[in-house]
Amino acid sequence: MNQPKKISEINIGDILPPVVKQIAQERIQLYAEASGDFNPIHINEEFAQKTPFGGTIAHGMLVLSFTSALMCNTFGLDWLSSGTLSVRFKAAARPGDVITTSGAITSIEYQDNIPLVKCNVESRNQAGEVVITGNTTVKLLSTSASVK
């Protein structure tokens, strides 16, 4: 496990270690079971082929979970206890896609002497198409993070 960096070691422009995940129909099915979202666009290939998507697509929240993983990998419990995000879904993720979620620190401010780190984040498929884009904010309550 990486040793967390102190706030003094975090800089605007730092790149967050990316999260890379492959979308498989099995992962989509497992997400449907966990979330209770059995919309046929996600789990019924015959139905989904008749839609403008031409096949099943991943749940948006499944793909968004990769952003949370990115932030949790970097900021740990601080992300889980104080993180917020604002995103836009730009394109669908499909079975077979490899999604790379990345981010960079855009600002570090202080609120009541607590560092507030803001990041730009995005998820792209293997063709470079943006699937999700957005911004995150996390209070560094422990004043450390594992940015590399």
pLDDT tens digits for range 37-67: 999 999 999 999 999 999 999 999 999 999 9
pTM to 2 decimal places: 0.90
Q: Name which residue leads in pLDDT, 103 or 2.
A: 103
Question: Has residue 133 got a pLDDT over 90?
Answer: yes
Q: Rounded to an integer, what distance in angstroms lies between the CA atom of residue 111 and that of residue 118?
A: 13
Q: Rounded to an integer, what distance in angstroms lies between the CA atom of residue 20 and that of residue 29?
A: 19
What fold does the segment set 5-145 form as a domain?
Answer: Thiol Ester Dehydrase; Chain A (3.10.129)
Indicate the SS3 state at residue 3. Answer: coil
